[in-house]
Amino acid sequence: MLAALAAAAFAPRTAIAQEGSDWAQVAGGALGLYSGAVLGTLGGTVPCSQTLAGVDCVRVSGALGGVVAAIGGVHLGGVDEDAVASAARGAGYGLLIGAAAGFALQRSVQRLGWSEVAAGAIIGSAFGASARGAAIGLAAGTALGTVLYWAVPSFDLPNSIGVAVAGMALGGISSWVIRGVEGHPDAADEGPVVLSFTLSL
Amino acid sequence: MQPRPQSSACVAEGYAAAVDWYGPARKGDQEKLAEWCSTVGPPIIEPAPAAYFARAQGAEALTVVSWNVHGGSGDLFGLIERELDLPCRDGQPAVGTSFEHFVLVLQEVYRRSSDVPRVGARSTIPKQLKEEASPGERVDVVEVARRCGLSLFYVPSMRNGDREYEDGREDRGNAILSTLPLSDPIAIEIPFEAQRRVAAATTVHSVAGDSLRFVSVHLDVASSMLRVLRTGNSTRQRQGLGLLDALAELEAARADPTGDCGLLYCYPECPPGSPPRYHIATLAAGDFNTWSARETVIKHYYRHFPQSPAWDGLPTRASYPTDFIFFRESAEGRVRLVEGSHRRLDDQHGSDHFARIARLEFPR
């Protein structure tokens, strides 16, 4: 799987055709599964923590996210190799940015360890693989969470953060489905989408 | 959860034989807990309060306060004097006219002693709690109990920094103090997430002989982000449900000496359609470190403690509802929560948490 993704990410752009292939389907499915599962797990944490099911609910959210995005990724790979390569590059950039953010966090907060760097890398790569959708979802979720925070007295800060993260997950997973259906790259010709944001917990 | 094997390194090192230990069955938890345990001193049990409390008024009711003291920040003497009418800062307790027996269910209390082992700096020793200037004298929980004449059960969870003092080192954990006698002390190590946490449980006996189990609970704030991803953010749910498992095992172990389970008592296995009937009333209270009063762990506790007071909508640490009191009656119903008695105290008494208070009565 890693070899397929690496090949997709580092293949010369001129050699990539705007059509699907078997390897692109495998790579797209694997990347979708990974990105969707991580985003689904993250997106489920806060809303699920308000239910009796708790962790079971998070697991369902992660599994659903992974399956839906994997199906989208397989479809995408079947119609557009370039889009899968773009997603793989985005995952690579996300991995580096996420790891750097985790490192910065680890250096600034005493009780945090190296596992935060790993977590940053995992989240960053999942985000990067579906960057445009996740970014749009995060922006929409943040806006909605902020409105609810000010408008509904019982809607507290953790809930508004939860809405923002759930929005990111929904946007990211949806982008796999939309790209799979429409069959075009997500910002393939525009380079990676780099966002700067602060999440206060 | 399961009763902790007596061969455990943590229990073997001179720990009070009178304390029963419960802990998680998972080997990974046990190893982590043992590492942390090797840095703290033994639990302390002082079962009898000062003799003059036996003559005090107020046999029909009992006040309970649950409070995260935040190390030396919280002014325990101040709270005991102003909220419970027992001035004892000077070691000369004076029972006031409105005095009523009480139980303090405390978290993050510290103990300084040479019994806390000297170990080198290691990752299992957390930093000392960052304390605000206390409005009162900085006194450890053992000294508070001694000066006020209270019974005490203290179980350390972890070290309170690695600093050496002339009179020893510090650890911190949960405690139960009372003007009434204590028995059946139990230390319950809950599943390891970020730090070692040990719930302290003991039985308090009213003047009329009624028994009531108290449990002092403190859950973790959060695990690492990687663990959140791996486990689906299970930190407080796993710890809280682990403690509920241990309490269920306790019920099973203590309730059925004559084999009448199912007739008088049934928990956790009850006949279909029959609500649980507990052999002893239990009050579990403490700092659950929750972001929201609707969190999974809180929902589970309300289910297992059906007579609990409803949350009043007030936060107890900054804007977060972290502290709760949960209660369930026994099958005999000889101890009840006084309706409307549950509230948050208005003064933090130097801690970063507000305390919660409630009254229990013994109807005849």
Contact with chain B for residue A73, Cβ under 8 A: no
Q: What is the pLDDT of residue B58?
A: 63
Q: What is the pLDDT of residue A185?
A: 52
Does some domain include residue A194?
A: no
Q: Is B175 helix (H, G, I), strand (E, B) or coil?
A: strand
Higher pLDDT pick, B153 / B136: B153
Percent of chain B having pLDDT more than 70? Answer: 91
What's the structural domain count of chain A?
A: 1
Asked whether residue A138 carries a pLDDT value surpassing 90, the answer given is: yes
Does some domain include residue A88?
A: yes
Mean per-residue pLDDT, B352-361: 96
Mean per-residue pLDDT, A4-30: 69
Percent of chain A having pLDDT more than 90? Answer: 67
Q: What is the largest CA-CA distance in chain B?
A: 60
- Residue-wise pLDDT for B241-278, tens only, equals 999 999 998 888 877 555 555 556 676 677 777 777 88
Q: What is the pLDDT of residue B131?
A: 85
Q: What is the pLDDT of residue B17?
A: 63
Mean per-residue pLDDT, B134-152: 91
For residue A187, give both structure tokens: 């910002």
- Residue-wise pLDDT for B78-99, tens only, equals 999 999 999 999 999 888 777 8
Asked whether residue A7 carries a pLDDT value surpassing 70, the answer given is: no
CB pair distance less than 8 Å for B292 and A51: no
CB pair distance less than 8 Å for B295 and A48: no
Residue B201 DSSP class: E
> Is residue A19 within a helix (H) or strand (E), and if so which, with residue range?
none
In chain B, which residues have their Cβ closer than 8 Å to the Cβ of A51?
296, 299
Q: Do β-strands B151-159 and B198-205 pair in parallel, antiparallel, or remain unpaired? A: unpaired
Mean per-residue pLDDT, B223-238: 89
Separation of alpha carbons B169 and B165, rounded Å = 6
Range from A54-68, A182-196, B201-215 that averages highest in pLDDT: A54-68
Q: What is the pLDDT of residue A6?
A: 54
Mean per-residue pLDDT, B283-288: 98
User: Roughly how many angstroms between the first and final C-alpha of chain B, as a whole number?
Assistant: 36
For CA atoms A75, A79, A81, A82, give the dihedral sign: negative
Does some domain include residue A195?
A: no
Closest residue on chain A to B236 (Cα): A49
Looking from the CA of B26 toward its CB, the CA atoms found within 13 Å total 12
In chain A, which residues have their Cβ closer than 8 Å to the Cβ of B233?
45, 48-49, 55, 58
Mean per-residue pLDDT, B336-354: 95
- Residue-wise pLDDT for A46-96, tens only, equals 999 999 999 999 999 999 999 999 999 999 999 999 999 999 999 999 999
* Averaged pLDDT of chain B: 89
> Is residue B338 within a helix (H) or strand (E), and if so which, with residue range?
none
Separation of alpha carbons A30 and A5, rounded Å = 8
Asked whether residue B52 carries a pLDDT value surpassing 90, the answer given is: no
Mutate to test the interface with B, among A45, A50, A165 (most CBs of B within 10 A): A50
Mean per-residue pLDDT, B4-23: 67
Domain annotation for chain B: domains and CATH numbers:
2-361 (3.60.10.10)
Q: How many angstroms away from the CA of B361 is the closest CA of chain A? A: 31
Return the closest-CA partner of residue B239 out of B32, B17, B5, B10: B32
* Exposure b/e, A101-117, CB count within 10 A at least 16 = b: bbeeebeeeeebeebbb
CB pair distance less than 8 Å for B292 and A116: no
Contact with chain B for residue A104, Cβ under 8 A: no
Q: What is the pLDDT of residue A200?
A: 43
Does some domain include residue A52?
A: yes
- Residue-wise pLDDT for B147-175, tens only, equals 999 999 999 999 999 999 999 999 999 99
In chain B, which residues have their Cβ closer than 8 Å to the Cβ of A111?
126-127
Contact with chain B for residue A52, Cβ under 8 A: yes
CB pair distance less than 8 Å for A55 and B291: no
Q: What is the pLDDT of residue B181?
A: 93
In chain B, which residues have their Cβ closer than 8 Å to the Cβ of A201?
222
Q: What is the pLDDT of residue B333?
A: 80
Owning domain of residue A102: 19-182
Q: What is the pLDDT of residue B257?
A: 54
Does some domain include residue A76?
A: yes
In chain B, which residues have their Cβ closer than 8 Å to the Cβ of A41?
229, 232
CB pair distance less than 8 Å for A50 and B319: no
Range from B53-57, B114-118, B325-329 that averages highest in pLDDT: B325-329
Q: What is the pLDDT of residue B13?
A: 56
Does some domain include residue A143?
A: yes
Closest residue on chain B to A51 (Cα): B296
Mean per-residue pLDDT, A126-147: 94
Does some domain include residue A142?
A: yes
Separation of alpha carbons A156 and B291, rounded Å = 9
Mean per-residue pLDDT, B320-329: 96
Backbone angles phi, psi at B111, to 5 degrees: -130, 135
Higher pLDDT pick, B254 / B201: B201
Q: What is the pLDDT of residue A1?
A: 44
Q: What is the pLDDT of residue A68?
A: 97
Higher pLDDT pick, B180 / B9: B180
Mutate to test the interface with A, among B226, B234, B289, B316 (most CBs of A within 10 A): B226
Type of residue numbered B59: A
C-alpha angle with apex B350: B345 to B354, nearest 5 degrees?
Answer: 30
